């Protein structure tokens, strides 16, 4: 274990020992007691870095007139029928636990939704688990599948929770770069070159947070072939399945288990937070073949017992009567997406065209700054919060993540500020050069 630093918080190796990160501490002067407590933390707790997303959000919260493109959360309020259904469930006295797996009505509705949308059948009684957001579902899946030493392949840049969830479950994370040259899709060749005899699981997450990339059907079929050949299991986080745009929308989202060879080796993770604007309700689900379902069910039973009751009734109402709201929000995100991508490109920041989720990922290298400095200076000098791209993995270096789940007026003002800032940075670089 790394010795604690003399000054400042103790430092410990990040997931793969490639760099060191600091353990969050409000007390910069470590007392003997704190050192001793730190040394008694589990290796897992010490290894996992704090989230790079919240840090900027917290600094931004202390400043005035900040436009936040930092947080991955819809700016819409949950559709009214969902709110009413949640309130009704409380008023009717449904204030206790539900069945561990979730209310049967919701599991039936999820099963019907996945069947009608993607043609994949899951038995509501033995293959669908309602969870506390996708966050819980992904942790359960890792607990169900990973033993110490098992390797899980995770394409990066990726959502910040994946690596830590695998580490908390005892797995070894092997990141696979997804490059802009390949539209931020991971390739079968890059996956295959990292497979060892310990590789057990491949994690996929498209549409992607942070890049907005989607996985084309041809790429997916190549990946499916190697998954079968190497007998891997797959975790697929499809929380943004309903938020796709342009060609990806015309082609339609490909749900991984709809590829027949993947159905019985995949855990599908889905949720309501993003497409139904329900982040605070904490409701998601996992669909898995029976043996994996059973293992996840056990972990869920002991850890949380059941997802929030009123949120389950709300989600049920969402599936029943709010599909048009989802589409209305999608169209709004699409309009904002086009404005922000054009705006950043016009400001001289090459920006990959995102086709899903609600993020864009501009390349900021022309400013001469690294991602962290760019984000820090942009926040302090222009009051715009973005997240450094390398918070999502090393391939995010040189980029920043900007969420466009905010109003058009704020997006337009943010573009003006970013353009002014980028111009200033380039002028400084020229002056120095």
Ligand X SMILES: Cc1ncc(COP(=O)(O)O)c(C=O)c1O
Using the minimum distance from each CB to ligand X, give the nearer residue, 9 or 207: 207
3-class DSSP assignment, residue 180: helix
> Smallest distance from the beta carbon of 424 to ligand X, in angstroms?
31
239 touches ligand X (CB under 6 A): yes
Using the minimum distance from each CB to ligand X, give the nearer residue, 284 or 343: 284
Torsion angles phi and psi, residue 276, rounded to 5: -100, 10
Binding piece for ligand X, criterion CB under 6 A, among 119-127, 168-176, 271-279, 296-304 = 271-279
Instruction: Point out the residue whose Cβ comes nearest to ligand X.
Output: 133
Looking only at residues 283 through 312 of this chain, which bind ligand X when binding is defined by CB under 6 A?
284
Binding piece for ligand X, criterion CB under 6 A, among 128-136, 243-251, 346-354, 413-421 = 128-136
Of 247, 137, 299, 251, which Cα lies nearest the Cα of 203?
Answer: 137
In the numeric block, which tokens belong to residue 433? 């050069």
Beta bridge partners of 203: 235
Binding piece for ligand X, criterion CB under 6 A, among 132-140, 339-347, 380-388, 418-426 = 132-140
Please, are residues 53 and 71 in contact by the beta-carbon 8 Å criterion? yes
Residue from 68, 135, 266, 351 touching ligand X (CB under 6 A): that is 135
215 touches ligand X (CB under 6 A): no
What span, in angstroms and rounded, lies between the C-alpha atoms of 93 and 32? 51
Beta bridge partners of 244: 356
Using the minimum distance from each CB to ligand X, give the nearer residue, 131 or 219: 131
Residue 77 per-residue DSSP state: P
What span, in angstroms and rounded, lies between the C-alpha atoms of 284 and 187? 28
Of 312, 291, 292, which Cα lies nearest the Cα of 109?
Answer: 312
DSSP per-residue codes, 38-59 = HHHS-HHHHHSPPPHHHHHHHH
Using the minimum distance from each CB to ligand X, give the nearer residue, 159 or 344: 159
With contacts defined by CB under 6 A, how many residues of the chain interact with ligand X?
13
Residue from 68, 254, 273, 312 touching ligand X (CB under 6 A): that is 273
127 touches ligand X (CB under 6 A): no
Residue from 49, 52, 70, 72 touching ligand X (CB under 6 A): that is 72
209 touches ligand X (CB under 6 A): yes
Please, are residues 122 and 141 in contact by the beta-carbon 8 Å criterion? no
Using the minimum distance from each CB to ligand X, give the nearer residue, 329 or 422: 329
Name every residue whose Cβ is closer than 8 Å to that of residue 178 and which is 6 or more positions away in sequence.
Answer: 155, 156, 157, 184, 185, 186, 190, 208, 211, 213, 395
Q: Phi-psi category of 174—alpha, beta or left, where left has phi over 0 and alpha has psi -120 to 50?
A: beta
> Smallest distance from the beta carbon of 137 to ligand X, in angstroms?
8
133 touches ligand X (CB under 6 A): yes
> Smallest distance from the beta carbon of 283 to ligand X, in angstroms?
7
Using the minimum distance from each CB to ligand X, give the nearer residue, 12 or 48: 48
Beta bridge partners of 287: 128, 268
Sign of the CA dihedral running 274, 184, 158, 24:
negative
How long is the chain?
A: 433
In the numeric block, which tokens belong to residue 333? 């995100």
Binding piece for ligand X, criterion CB under 6 A, among 133-141, 181-189, 255-263, 407-415 = 133-141
User: What is the enclosing helix (H) or strand (E) of 359?
Assistant: strand 359-360
Residue from 38, 56, 159, 421 touching ligand X (CB under 6 A): that is 159
276 touches ligand X (CB under 6 A): no
What span, in angstroms and rounded, lies between the C-alpha atoms of 22 and 399? 22
Binding piece for ligand X, criterion CB under 6 A, among 61-69, 129-137, 374-382, 402-410 = 129-137
> Smallest distance from the beta carbon of 274 to ligand X, in angstroms?
7
Instruction: Show the binding pattern over residues 160-189: x = contacts ligand X (CB under 6 A), - = does not.
Output: ------------------------------
392 touches ligand X (CB under 6 A): no
Q: Which residues bind ligand X (CB under 6 A)?
A: 72, 133-135, 159, 205, 209, 237, 239, 271, 273, 279, 284
């Amino acid at each position: 274990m790394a010795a604690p630093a003399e000054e400042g918080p103790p430092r410990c190796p990040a997931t793969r020992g490639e760099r060191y990160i600091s353990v969050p501490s409000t007390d910069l002067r470590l007392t003997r007691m704190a050192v001793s407590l730190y040394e008694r933390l589990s290796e897992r707790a010490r290894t996992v870095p704090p989230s790079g997303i919240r840090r900027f959000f917290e600094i931004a919260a202390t400043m005035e007139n900040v436009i936040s493109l930092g947080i991955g959360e819809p700016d819409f309020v949950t559709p009214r029928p969902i709110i009413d259904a949640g309130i009704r469930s409380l008023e009717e006295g449904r204030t206790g636990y539900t069945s561990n797996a979730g209310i049967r009505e919701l599991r039936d509705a999820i099963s019907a939704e996945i069947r009608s949308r993607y043609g994949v059948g899951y038995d509501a009684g033995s293959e669908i688990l309602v969870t506390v957001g996708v966050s819980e579902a992904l942790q359960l899946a890792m607990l169900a599948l990973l033993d110490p030493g098992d390797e899980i392949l995770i394409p990066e840049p990726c959502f910040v929770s994946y690596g830590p969830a695998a580490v908390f479950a005892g797995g070894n994370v092997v990141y696979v770069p997804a490059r802009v040259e390949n539209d931020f899709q991971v390739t079968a060749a890059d996956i295959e070159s990292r497979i060892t005899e310990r590789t057990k699981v491949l994690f996929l997450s498209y549409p992607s947070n942070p890049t907005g990339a989607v996985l084309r059907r041809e790429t997916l079929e190549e990946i499916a072939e190697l998954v079968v050949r190497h007998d891997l299991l797959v975790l697929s986080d499809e929380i943004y399945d309903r938020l796709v745009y342009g060609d990806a929308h015309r082609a339609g989202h490909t749900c991984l288990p709809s590829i027949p060879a993947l159905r019985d080796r995949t855990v599908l993770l889905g949720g309501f937070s993003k497409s139904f604007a329900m982040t605070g309700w904490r409701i998601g689900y996992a669909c898995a073949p029976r043996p994996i379902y059973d293992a996840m069910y056990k972990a869920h039973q002991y850890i949380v017992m059941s997802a929030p009751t009123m949120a389950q009734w709300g989600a049920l109402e969402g599936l029943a009567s709010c599909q048009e709201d989802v589409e209305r929000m999608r169209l709004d995100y699409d309009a904002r997406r086009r404005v922000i991508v054009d705006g950043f490109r016009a400001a001289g920041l090459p920006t990959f065209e995102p086709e899903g989720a609600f993020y864009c990922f501009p390349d900021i290298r022309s400013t001469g700054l690294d991602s962290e400095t760019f984000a820090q200076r942009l926040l302090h000098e222009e009051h715009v919060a973005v997240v450094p791209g390398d918070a999502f993995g090393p391939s995010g270096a040189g980029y920043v993540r900007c969420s466009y789940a905010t109003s058009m007026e704020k997006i337009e003002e943010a573009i003006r500020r970013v353009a002014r800032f980028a111009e200033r940075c380039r002028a400084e670089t020229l002056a120095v050069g």
